[in-house]
Structure 1
Amino acid sequence: MAVASATVAAVGLSLVGSAGTAQASTTSAAPVVTRAALDPALVAGRGASVNFLEQEAENAATNGTLIGPDRTAYSLPAEASGRKAVKLTGGQYVEFTLPAAANAITVRYSIPDAPNGGGITAPLNVTVNGKNKQVMTLTSEFSWLYNQYPFSNDPTAGLLHEDWWITECACVPAFTDPKPVIATPFRPMHFYDEQRLLLGKTYKAGDKVRLTVPAGSNAAWTVIDLLDSELVGKPHVRLVASNVLAFGADPTGRRESADAFDRAIAFAKKWHLKVYVPPGVYQVNRHIIVDDVTIEGAGNWYTVIKGSEVALSEPAEDGSVHTGVGFYGRYAEDGGSSDVHLSGFTIQGDVSERIDTDQVNGIGGAMSDSTIDGLYIRHTKVGMWFDGPMDNIKVTNNIIVDQMADALNFRKGVTNSLVSNNFIRNTGDDGLAMWSDGVADANNVYDHNTVQTPSLANGIAIYGGTNNTVSNNLVADPIREGSGLHAGSRFGATAFDGYLKFTNNTVVRAGTYELNWNIGLGAIWIYALDKTIDADIQVTGDHYLDSTYNAIMMVSEWGVKDLVQIRGVKFKDLRIDGTGTSVLSGRVEGGASFENVDARNVGAVGINNCGSFHFTPAGSEFVVTDLGGNDGGGTTGPWMASWELPNTITCDDRPPVVVPPAPSAW
């Protein structure tokens, strides 16, 4: 969740990789299956277990042009999985060899915006073994944001906030004379989208799926990032159920079906039945309120509940100015909902702008003692946003992609809940968040999830709360103003209390550039802003791979640097393979302990210890405690050198970046 200003792109980032362009091979390529653009062996046992196999376009056969690697914000390769992709023009192709039997594919792509915003459409031909052509209609309607938070669809617009600091001019334009000229489009971002396609039959391993941009395409270029291939099973059928078709739902999507869903739910509750939604596309343009009900689809490839964002005649009580497709529990202040069970369908919106007061999320409200399983959620503002207090929800096996903001957020008193085995890609804010907004989120677990390419903010972020665990997750490629893992005393959250555990997570290509501060963050970022952080924070068993800047960042804001501290964080049994700068950047008063933290390919001094920038004769205000077993290092020697301890000032505010080699087996 990012509510600070969005900021600058490129200053100094040529140090972290330049955008290479090369004509790619036209020869047939054997399938290279990856997870988050890595050898799966490097992330074994971590992240979500999914039904599809990922192949990066840069590893496929193509006569297009490789773009990347590059991590410069506002560039196409920076937002691609693995920071590489393939650019095609008319007549060019990417061809993937199926690694296993498949009857369905997902393509992640980008095409240009319209000159004045709002997107264009363009065709992409799909053939298998040169036959059975299908045409995907690509769109940029739901991508291409510009400007400062909360962003704009208009590439020609002036600044949204002239009174904010702008790094490009090193000024606040409203108070600068003469007023600077800010070039447009200003800070383009959120370039990618994805589409699914059933191939109509099952193809075997070794068959060739070719994606071709037809000659004369109205898109000047088409970037292909990756292809996921999958063998989709038969539709799920529930014969004894409250079938929405019996109540007038239209599976062709031509007529509105929201009222039919309401009638089916009422009938199911009266007769103690489940609601069944057969294969089809159902138009629903408002919230479906759910309480004490089970709704099953035929599977998220078959049952699609699709709706448009609808302007309200006057703002709702919650501040919304639009409504749209979504399944909502009653709000907590209205008693909340319970015993809600949703599974096996897609929720697809058409949200193309970020309005934070709008409730245009796929799932919302409060749902206690409930389950959400096997959904596919796309093009809503937030995939799932829960406003507590509420207790005991299990969110499992879902796919959430192409969101304007978070994929999932537990806000305000969500307790005793589990988020597990979910796959998340291309969010416009945090992938997974817990926000203890005035009431603590407590006793929750985020486990075995995969979060890829959030274009803003963090992969997994915890804002305050009590006794929460983040374990066995895979986070890759956060783009700007965030990290892979984040613990923040921010946004009015309750203080961290009890414990917060980060356990056995893998974070790759994180440690991004903080565009307001003009410094690099860490693969894990602990930030004291509103309050001191002195809970039992344990970081154990994590792997931080190929961090753009630091592996670990602990920091406070300059304006509160003498008011807050971060104390007592424990790092143990970590593997750090590749940092552009340091293992640890300490920019706060307090301290942390380290035990069995092994590092290699470290680009700068192992510990960049600035403390709270008073540089006292006694040393830094940030104390590093060596509990033993901290081995390895990089260009400047051992990462934890004896001369650095416990609080030697080693403050190089912006050390040069040394790009590390690709991660490898430990």
Structure 2
Amino acid sequence: MVGDMFAPPRWAALLATPLVTLGVAIGPADAAAAHPSSVAITPTATRAALDPALVAGRGAGVAFTEQEAEHAVTTGAVLSPSRTAYTLAAEASGRSAVSLDPGEYVEFTLPKAANAITVRYSIPDAPNGGGITAPLTVGTPGGTRTMNLTSQYSWLYNQYPFSNDPRAGLLHPDWWITECSCVPAATTPAPEVSTPFRPMHFYDEQRLLLGRTYRAGDRIRLTARQVTTTIDLLDSELVGAPRIDLGGVNVLLFGADPTGRRDAAPAIERAIAYAKKVHRRVYLPPGVFQVNRHIVVDDVTIAGAGNWYTTVKGHEVALTTPAPDGSVHTGVGFYGKAGGSRNVHLADFAIEGDVRERIDTDQVNGIGGAMSDSTITGLHLRHTKVGLWFDGPMSNVEVSGNIIVDQIADGLNFHTGVTGSVARNNFIRNTGDDGLAMWSEKIADSDNTFDRNTIQTPTLANGIAIYGGTDNTVSRNLVADPIREGSALHVGSRFGAEAFGGRLTIADNTTVRAGTYELNWNIGLGAIWFYALDSSIDADIRVTGDHYLDNTYNAIMLVSDWPVKDLYSINGVHFRDVRVDGAGTSVISARAAGGATFENVDARNVGAVGVNNCGSFHFTPSGSEFTLSDLGGNDGGWLAPFTPNVITCDDRPAVVPPPAPSTW
């Protein structure tokens, strides 16, 4: 790794946080400002905390309307915007939120009629970990309701794969520690690491049907009652009536308990078996159905009454002996059969798990296995390890119109030989790893598309990551607010992935407030970044029509790790019709050998030199080992002075936060 070769940038200076009397909370890094309730604020609907006009045609089309708490009326305190990891502000949508002491409120004015809300919030952890519960009063013109908030599914600490214990010492004493610029096991004496060490994954969310429809202009007031409560945003929605399917095989007829008190898995399996015999679909009516293990599905359609009405909910169950795949727990999930399933169609219900820690060998995903010629649509996935983890080979699956939130790891992963498949129009928020990923481990993923998805606030890694593969497409997505050790869009030859081949198309995506701090290297990443670690990246890669808005550091990075910088290069990347509106440092950061072309790449509000070109760090008399080819039309004066390979290497450029993005 690069290690102490790089000094930390200014925005990474404050990382530690203190304890408070009740539980673990965030301290001085989240300085707050009063926001008096007498201030009249026009109800503002945003998308990823942006003016919707800036992202028209990009990201998922969703039924709800987003409103940021920092733009609402409140008697609490607005957290000062921050992108410093391990702070409540940094993990909030738009990098700000509202902190409420008991008795304080934040009040939203509905921009559209609604009968349901989703609240994204954070409350403190228990002093020894494990979470607490606390009520939140929801005030409406029709009366008050109570939301019972919990922090049992949030608050992780320490090094990967993280701990639920705020008191825990280092999980990996021999790993590089940025805070002390050292490898603790190699120092005498080892430096002390304050606890809780690297708190993260602060937020969770809950949904609530309000019981009646409220009009545009009506107010929703959220009042903290027992503990300090941070409100990030409110999503409001007009939910239709539950879907009734008289022609489907109703699981109630096979003994399924819709109250959630008794195990419904055997009844659901009996209904599936009968439905396959009579060639009908399975119907999950309104209710909560307890399922604590995998339901294996093949050649079957299972549909609910709508994901606000039908919930399949389970406990995480410890196995008496580890499974052959290494799992030590099981939990609720719908899985393809061994060898792969076909013709599976899942729609219109929620899956709610009980995953509170990350154990990478555990198969506790909402959807798992292989399902060819299948569709997954209209699901709401929450509190599982990964929303959907597909292990190929498999082909022709469409994942569309789903909401995937509060995962301990990825949102969706096409893993190993997934072909001809698409993830489109999905909304993904608060994942603990990549929001969307294609991972070509052992067998290449090919001919897949990630299109028009929205990914917000992944607490680790990337919004969208492509690890090897052939002829894949990433198009028209909206990615906002990645937190650390990753960024918005990532192309990486790593994790043992098959090499890139054919053409990788990256087109018409928008990123905002990306370009994060890389914990191990002590430098900032690009909103889109290419990483040659296991092999060179030399496929035909076309980046066209992307918009990179309000980048914390640079907009585009091409990098190889220090130990392999003379072995692997990055070539064949072509940027065309790209806009960069705001970069804290440079438009381009090149830290590898190779080259890229640029045509009609326009940039404004750039904080440092347009190109930070280190090449492979040999600083030869002939210039950098990375070549930038100017194909014309690159407005803003950022490129021409630095072509083809002018060395401008600066690991510590001054960060100049750009103004908010605006219409081009």
Task: Classify the TM-score, shorter chain.
Answer: over 0.9
Shift of 1:641: 2.9
Match of 1:396 among 376, 393, 400: 400
SS of the residue aligned with 2:269? helix
Match of 1:254 among 229, 253, 261: 261
**1:524-543 map, 5 Å:** 524-543=528-547
Match of 1:64 among 66, 71, 76: 76
Tell me what 1:570 maps to: 574
Contact 2:12 2:517 in 1 (8 A): no
**Which letter does structure 2 place at the counterpart of 1:641?**
A
Match of 2:197 among 162, 186, 204: 186
Shift of 1:410: 0.3
Tell me what 1:211 maps to: 222
Match of 2:507 among 493, 496, 503: 503
SS of the residue aligned with 1:58? helix
SS of the residue aligned with 2:267? helix
Distance 2:551 2:656 in 1: 11
Distance 1:316 1:369 in 2: 28
Shift of 1:15: 8.2
Distance 1:573 1:107 in 2: 37
**Which letter does structure 1 place at the counterpart of 2:130?**
G
Distance 1:82 1:323 in 2: 35
Match of 1:35 among 47, 65, 68: 47
Shift of 1:43: 0.3
SS of the residue aligned with 1:470? strand
**Which letter does structure 1 place at the counterpart of 2:523?**
I
Q: Does 1:544 align with 2:544?
A: no
Contact 1:327 1:363 in 2 (8 A): yes
Contact 1:15 1:658 in 2 (8 A): no
Shift of 1:152: 0.1
Q: Does 1:640 align with 2:651?
A: no
Contact 1:393 1:416 in 2 (8 A): yes
Q: Does 1:125 align with 2:137?
A: yes
Shift of 1:505: 0.1
SS of the residue aligned with 1:53? strand
Contact 2:355 2:384 in 1 (8 A): yes
Tell me what 1:154 maps to: 165
Q: Does 1:306 align with 2:313?
A: yes
Match of 2:181 among 170, 190, 194: 170
Shift of 1:313: 0.8
SS of the residue aligned with 1:250? coil
Tell me what 2:11 maps to: 13
Tell me what 2:655 maps to: 657
Give the direction of change, closer, same or farther, for the CA distance of 1:18–1:317 in structure 2 (3 Å limit): closer
Q: Does 1:106 align with 2:104?
A: no
Q: Does 1:277 align with 2:284?
A: yes
Q: Does 1:239 align with 2:246?
A: yes
Deviations along 1:184-240, whole A, 9 cap, x unmatched? 0000000000000000000110000000112xx1x2x10000000000001111101
Shift of 1:156: 0.1
**1:259-270 map, 5 Å:** 259-270=266-277
Distance 1:524 1:165 in 2: 25
Tell me what 1:598 maps to: 602
Distance 1:529 1:388 in 2: 24
SS of the residue aligned with 2:471? strand
SS of the residue aligned with 2:266? helix
**Which letter does structure 1 place at the counterpart of 2:312?**
I
Deviations along 1:30-59, whole A, 9 cap, x unmatched? 210000000000000000000000000011
Distance 1:399 1:25 in 2: 34
Shift of 1:335: 2.2
Contact 1:20 1:70 in 2 (8 A): no
TM-score (normalizing by structure 1): 0.96
**1:147-546 map, 5 Å:** 147-214=158-225, 217=226, 219=227, 221-330=228-337, 334-546=338-550
Shift of 1:175: 1.8
Contact 2:259 2:289 in 1 (8 A): yes
Tell me what 1:635 maps to: none
Flag structure 1 segments of 5+ consecutive residues without an equivalent: 633-637
Shift of 1:29: 2.7
Distance 2:344 2:81 in 1: 44
SS of the residue aligned with 2:178? coil
Distance 1:588 1:10 in 2: 20
Distance 1:232 1:400 in 2: 18
Deviations along 1:410-439, whole A, 9 cap, x unmatched? 000000001000000000000000000010
Contact 2:629 2:644 in 1 (8 A): yes
| Structure 1 outlier segments of 4+, above 6 Å | 8-11, 14-18
**Which letter does structure 2 place at the counterpart of 1:41?**
A
SS of the residue aligned with 1:559? helix
Distance 2:12 2:301 in 1: 52
Distance 2:326 2:491 in 1: 28
Identical-residue share of aligned pairs (%): 71
Query: How many residues of Structure 1 are paired with residues of Structure 2 in the alignment?
Result: 648
SS of the residue aligned with 2:527? strand
Contact 2:12 2:85 in 1 (8 A): no
Contact 2:136 2:146 in 1 (8 A): yes
**Which letter does structure 2 place at the counterpart of 1:663?**
P
**Which letter does structure 2 place at the counterpart of 1:79?**
E
**Which letter does structure 1 place at the counterpart of 2:339?**
G
Deviates more, 1:646-655 or 1:501-510: 646-655
Flag structure 2 segments of 5+ consecutive residues without an equivalent: 15-27
Shift of 1:10: 8.1
SS of the residue aligned with 1:261? helix
Give the direction of change, closer, same or farther, for the CA distance of 1:9–1:25 in structure 2 (3 Å limit): farther
Shift of 1:11: 6.2
Deviations along 1:497-516, whole A, 9 cap, x unmatched? 00111100000000011010
Deviations along 1:589-647, whole A, 9 cap, x unmatched? 00000000000000000000000000011100000000000011xxxxx21133x1100
Tell me what 2:104 maps to: 92
Distance 2:402 2:91 in 1: 22
Contact 1:68 1:78 in 2 (8 A): no
Distance 1:20 1:522 in 2: 27
Deviations along 1:310-356, whole A, 9 cap, x unmatched? 000111111100000000001xxx32100000000000001010000
